[in-house]
């Protein structure tokens, strides 16, 4: 992700900016109104678009343009427009106003759909915005090398629209990811976000039509340049929409799960591959289009070698990155397919009887199993859950039995699988830094620096642990008896060589946890009498005061303790209960601590 830091760019606030824009526009309109009051304003132009039939009336100084004029309002407006088009200052003001409208529209959408933006969203939005502006600046001046102001204007307006939609879709994506972290999002905000995404998608379709239309006149290159970004935008938006839909489906499923759990689990099993393939297709298409777009730009700018080698260099870098990404995705997909085939061929699905015997939930997702795959170690998991785990690690999640999933291509080929890819290990995220000092060329140009850093998930080699069986067994023991430290369990297992025997040892008290782990039952001491003698000379004053508080708080704490056995349906209540439980724990710990100190000082005094 390219990261841009802009420090020295002065940005006026929106209110001031829109006020100034509106003022400027009204000044222009006023100028235009004044201008068309002139008798032969239209003759100044050589277009001769309109005759001026009502010259007489316009001589009248008290003439009111809208009411007394025979011309219709529409004509009047178009007159004003004609005047303004002719005046360069007015044109700039109108463009400025259009930008202002766009920003205001964006703000309105933000208020309506997103409400207050979170800090990270703000940050990302800003980064994305400057990034977009920067790349498009390079594109317009460096690659297409536009010569005429009209063309620049057209490209600018095209890209500002596009950028606007890009930013909105990015924002929706961030917000969707955020909402998916919370179980209690109101239904309404999902609807709003979905509506926004659908609108963005529709608009991008419309822009695509426009780009076809323009390309029809402007040639293939223009079409390709224009449409690439649009297609990217629509693909990304569609991707978010589908992910969102799947997520909503998940959430709804959860609500209706008890009703038709068998059916649900069937759908659930199918859902894994669907979402995987959707993800893969969208990612790959987006990357491919991006790659083609960049190659196209590269060829184009090589022919014209316009701005600087820097641009070409950056493009090359980025193209290389895209290429690498695609390669990585492809390898990952091959790995996925391999693991899936391996699963299907080597590990049978559990039979109904086995499922009944094993009444546990799937240990990966903690949900009920209506169908499951069985590993050689007899552990059962959901097919989808198991698949996604084995993609990254080739051992049984429960007992750590190393499964023999070796991709043959990695064994006999030079370029091995993703998981065993040495390149993958060596590759470091690379950064490059670009500083643009505008004031060197023209004093008012801004200066900014861009740091493009590519963060890639570095996957490392998985080393199969051959001597891990002992640890695995110890861990099994520990899951049964968490209070037995791992080292103790391992010690015992060394002699017993069997989980069952060790478990027996623990149960019969032959193997005990070190003293520190033994839990001693404590009863809340309610009959404590403050000992003024001790308090006076040994205890810190603060502690004494605390103790007095606790004796009164005790009553309140006792009934909060019972809250522990409830799991409320309402999230706010859950939060409250959790808070109380935390307070209770701290209170009790404090009380015990003070009590203990008191006891130790007492024994000290006695001796």
- What residues between 541 and 570 interact with another protein by CB under 8 A? 542-543, 546, 564-567
Which of 371, 468 has the CB closer to another protein?
468
Whether the CB-CB separation of 462 and 419 falls below 8 Å is answered with: yes
User: Whole-number minimum distance, CB 522 to another protein, in Å?
Assistant: 10
Whether the CB-CB separation of 155 and 146 falls below 8 Å is answered with: yes
User: Whole-number minimum distance, CB 575 to another protein, in Å?
Assistant: 6
Rule CB under 8 A: choose which of 13, 51, 88, 181 binds another protein.
Answer: 181
Rule CB under 8 A: choose which of 12, 429, 482, 530 binds another protein.
Answer: 482
Rule CB under 8 A: choose which of 286, 314, 472, 503 binds another protein.
Answer: 472
Whether the CB-CB separation of 66 and 73 falls below 8 Å is answered with: yes
Contacts of 210 (CB under 8 A, 6+ apart): 226
Which of 226, 401 has the CB closer to another protein?
401
User: Whole-number minimum distance, CB 459 to another protein, in Å?
Assistant: 6
Which of 75, 425 has the CB closer to another protein?
425
Question: Which tokens is 497 given?
Answer: 């060589």
The reply on whether position 571 binds another protein by CB under 8 A is: yes
Contacts of 154 (CB under 8 A, 6+ apart): none
User: Whole-number minimum distance, CB 489 to another protein, in Å?
Assistant: 11
Pairing state between β 431-437 and 447-453: antiparallel
HSE of 555, CA atoms in CB hemisphere, 13 A = 2
User: Whole-number minimum distance, CB 596 to another protein, in Å?
Assistant: 7
Contacts of 262 (CB under 8 A, 6+ apart): 370
> For another protein, which stretch binds (CB under 8 A), given 34-42, 443-451, 524-532, 587-595?
587-595
User: Whole-number minimum distance, CB 472 to another protein, in Å?
Assistant: 5
User: Whole-number minimum distance, CB 470 to another protein, in Å?
Assistant: 8
Rule CB under 8 A: choose which of 55, 250, 263, 437 binds another protein.
Answer: 250
Residues 161-180 that bind another protein (CB under 8 A): 177-178, 180
Which of 306, 546 has the CB closer to another protein?
546
CA dist., res. 471 & res. 346, Å (int): 26
> For another protein, which stretch binds (CB under 8 A), given 135-143, 259-267, 334-342, 481-489?
481-489
The reply on whether position 107 binds another protein by CB under 8 A is: no
> For another protein, which stretch binds (CB under 8 A), given 82-90, 132-140, 292-300, 590-598?
590-598
> For another protein, which stretch binds (CB under 8 A), given 44-52, 226-234, 291-299, 578-586?
578-586
Residues 390-429 that bind another protein (CB under 8 A): 392-393, 395, 397-398, 400
* DSSP state string for 565-584: G---SSHHHHHHHHHHHHHH
Residues 491-550 that bind another protein (CB under 8 A): 514-520, 540, 542-543, 546
CA dist., res. 607 & res. 601, Å (int): 10
Binding characters for another protein, 431-470, by CB under 8 A (x = yes) = ----------------------------xxxxxxx-xxx-
Q: How far apart are the first and last CA of the chain?
A: 69
* DSSP state string for 221-264: HHHHHHHHHHHHHHHHHHHHHHHHHHHHHHHHHHHHTTTSHHHH
Whether the CB-CB separation of 157 and 163 falls below 8 Å is answered with: no
User: Whole-number minimum distance, CB 478 to another protein, in Å?
Assistant: 8
CA dist., res. 28 & res. 82, Å (int): 12
Give me the numbers of helices (H) and strands (E) for the chain, helices first please: 20, 5
Residues 337-396 that bind another protein (CB under 8 A): 363-367, 385, 388-389, 392-393, 395
- Site size toward another protein (CB under 8 A) is 76
| Nearest CA among 455, 445, 509, 498 for reference residue 474 | 498
Rule CB under 8 A: choose which of 37, 86, 190, 247 binds another protein.
Answer: 247
CA dist., res. 322 & res. 283, Å (int): 11
Long-range contacts of 541-545 (CB under 8 A, 24+ apart): 543/594, 543/597
User: Whole-number minimum distance, CB 503 to another protein, in Å?
Assistant: 18
> For another protein, which stretch binds (CB under 8 A), given 13-21, 33-41, 322-330, 582-590?
582-590
| Nearest CA among 534, 502, 516, 513 for reference residue 603 | 534
Which of 244, 448 has the CB closer to another protein?
244
Which of 73, 245 has the CB closer to another protein?
245
* DSSP state string for 123-138: HHHHHHHHHHHHHHHI
User: Whole-number minimum distance, CB 325 to another protein, in Å?
Assistant: 19
CA dist., res. 478 & res. 490, Å (int): 10
Residue 373's H or E segment, with its range, is strand 373-374
Which of 282, 300 has the CB closer to another protein?
282
- Measured torsion, CA atoms of residues 482, 486, 490, 493, in degrees rounded to the nearest 10: 0
User: Whole-number minimum distance, CB 119 to another protein, in Å?
Assistant: 13
Which of 529, 566 has the CB closer to another protein?
566
Rg (CA), the chain: 36
The reply on whether position 586 binds another protein by CB under 8 A is: yes
Which of 526, 572 has the CB closer to another protein?
572
Rule CB under 8 A: choose which of 3, 25, 251, 501 binds another protein.
Answer: 251
Which of 79, 424 has the CB closer to another protein?
424
Whether the CB-CB separation of 125 and 117 falls below 8 Å is answered with: yes
Residues 270-299 that bind another protein (CB under 8 A): 275
C-alpha separations of 337 from 268, 388, 398, 421 in Å: 19, 11, 23, 17
Pairing state between β 2-5 and 447-453: antiparallel
Rule CB under 8 A: choose which of 54, 152, 577, 601 binds another protein.
Answer: 577
């Amino acid at each position: 992700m390219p990261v841009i830091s802009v420090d020295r760019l002065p940005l006026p606030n929106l209110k001031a900016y829109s006020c100034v824009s509106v003022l400027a526009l009204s000044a222009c309109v006023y100028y235009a109104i004044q201008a068309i009051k002139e008798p032969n304003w239209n003759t100044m132009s050589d277009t001769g678009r309109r005759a001026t039939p009502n010259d007489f009336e316009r001589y009248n100084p008290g003439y009111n343009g809208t009411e007394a004029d025979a011309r219709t309002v529409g004509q009047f407006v178009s007159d004003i427009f004609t005047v303004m088009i002719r005046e360069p200052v007015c044109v700039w003001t109108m463009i400025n106003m259009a930008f202002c409208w766009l920003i205001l529209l964006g703000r309105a959408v933000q208020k309506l759909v997103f409400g207050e933006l979170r800090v990270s969203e703000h940050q990302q939005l800003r980064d994305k915005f400057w990034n977009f502006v920067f790349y498009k600046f390079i594109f317009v001046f460096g690659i297409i090398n536009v010569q005429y102001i009209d063309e620049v204007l057209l490209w600018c307006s095209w890209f500002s629209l596009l950028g606007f939609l890009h930013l909105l879709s990015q924002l929706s994506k961030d917000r969707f990811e955020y909402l998916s972290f919370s179980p209690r999002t109101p239904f309404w905000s999902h609807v709003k976000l979905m509506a926004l995404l659908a609108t963005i998608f529709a608009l991008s379709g419309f822009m695509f039509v426009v780009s076809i239309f323009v390309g029809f006149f402007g040639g293939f290159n223009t079409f390709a340049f224009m449409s690439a970004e649009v297609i990217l935008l629509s693909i990304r938006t569609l991707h978010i929409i589908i992910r969102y839909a799947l997520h909503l489906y998940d959430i709804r499923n959860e609500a209706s799960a008890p009703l038709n759990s068998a059916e649900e689990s069937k759908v659930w099993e199918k859902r894994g591959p669907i979402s995987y393939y959707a993800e893969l297709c969208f990612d790959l298409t987006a990357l491919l289009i991006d790659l083609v777009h960049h190659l196209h730009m590269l060829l184009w700018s090589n022919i014209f070698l316009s701005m600087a080698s820097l641009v070409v260099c950056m493009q090359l870098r980025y193209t290389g990155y895209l290429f690498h990404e695609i390669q990585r995705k492809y390898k990952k997909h091959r790995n996925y397919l391999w693991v899936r085939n391996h699963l299907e061929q080597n590990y049978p699905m559990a039979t109904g009887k086995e499922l009944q015997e094993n009444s546990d939930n799937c240990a990966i997702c903690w949900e009920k199993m209506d169908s499951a795959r069985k590993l050689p170690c007899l552990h059962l998991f959901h097919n989808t859950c198991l698949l996604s785990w084995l993609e990254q690690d080739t051992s049984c999640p429960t007992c750590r039995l190393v499964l023999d999933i070796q991709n043959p291509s990695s064994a006999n080929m030079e370029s091995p699988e993703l998981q065993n890819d040495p390149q993958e290990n060596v590759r470091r995220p690379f950064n490059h830094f670009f500083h643009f000092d505008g004031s060197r060329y023209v004093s008012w140009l801004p200066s900014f620096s861009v740091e493009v850093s590519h963060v890639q998930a570095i996957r490392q080699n998985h080393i199969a642990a051959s001597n891990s069986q002992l640890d695995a067994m110890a861990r099994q023991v520990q899951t049964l008896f968490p209070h037995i430290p791992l080292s103790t369990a391992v010690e015992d297992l060394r002699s017993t060589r069997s989980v069952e025997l060790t478990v027996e040892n623990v149960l019969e008290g032959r193997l005990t946890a070190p003293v520190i782990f033994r839990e001693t039952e404590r009863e809340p001491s309610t009959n404590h009498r403050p000992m003024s003698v001790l308090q006076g000379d040994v205890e810190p004053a603060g502690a004494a005061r605390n103790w007095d508080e606790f004796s009164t708080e005790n009553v309140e704490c006792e009934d909060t303790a019972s809250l522990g056995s409830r799991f409320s349906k309402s999230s706010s209540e859950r939060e409250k209960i959790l808070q109380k439980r935390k307070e209770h724990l701290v209170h009790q710990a404090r009380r015990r601590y003070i009590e203990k100190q008191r006891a130790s000082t007492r024994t000290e005094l006695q001796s």
